[in-house]
Amino acid sequence: MPTEAPEIVRMVWHTLGSTDAVGALILGGSRAKGSATELSDWDLYLEGEPAKLIAEVPGLMAPLRPLGAFWEPLSEDAGYMMVMDGPVKIDLFPIGGRRSLQPPWEPVRANLSGIDGHYWDWMLWLGSKALRHQDELVSDELAKMQWFLLGPLGVERPPADLHDAVALYLKARAVASEQLKTSVPEGLGRQVLAALRQHRLV
């Protein structure tokens, strides 16, 4: 584990390493390569029986109180996405774990907070790509975001950039909150937005 790893990353590592379900932990991605940006996530690969890991990971992480946490709906390779206080994005990948691809969101009162968690996790990840000037990837992902998440909220066009994505989402979320007569916790959004603003990405 790199010496600069935040305390919450070390806590996640310790928690996973203390359970019989996890045979070994491997740091991957840009953090392992030493090429991370300030917004890059921490990719942790988990060795063990995939089905058991998929069943146990959410419960193991819940006491650490992630601001947002969900299984990645757009990949068949199982990945548990978390944004912790900071914000710090930590992704857990049970090696060999598989899940079904999910259809685009259909906003209802019960899942608006889930949509919000997915949106801000996505934006934090895109922020790390924007810092690398991966403009084509960011553009492609914003189009995917419009299809999967923003479109179901009533947004009719892909965002032009990250700033536009925030403006479109916040307006659409406000409308959905009013129509569905519910609200979402704002802590995650505040932290991610502050991080993006710090790097002048929005």
> Domain locations in the chain?
7-94, 109-198
CATH topology of domain 7-94: Beta Polymerase; domain 2 (3.30.460)
Alpha-carbon distances of 163 from 43, 62, 92, 167, 169, rounded to whole Å: 26, 31, 28, 6, 10
Classified as helix, coil or strand, 149 is helix
- Please provide the average confidence, as pLDDT, over all residues in the chain: 97
Tens of pLDDT, residue by residue over 26-83, are 999 999 999 999 999 999 999 999 999 999 999 999 999 999 999 999 999 999 999 9
Mean pLDDT, rounded, for 141-167: 99
Residue 45 β-bridge partners: 26, 93
pLDDT score at 3: 79
The reported pTM is: 0.97
Under 8 Å between Cβ of 23 and 48: yes
Tens of pLDDT, residue by residue over 12-31, are 999 999 999 999 999 999 99
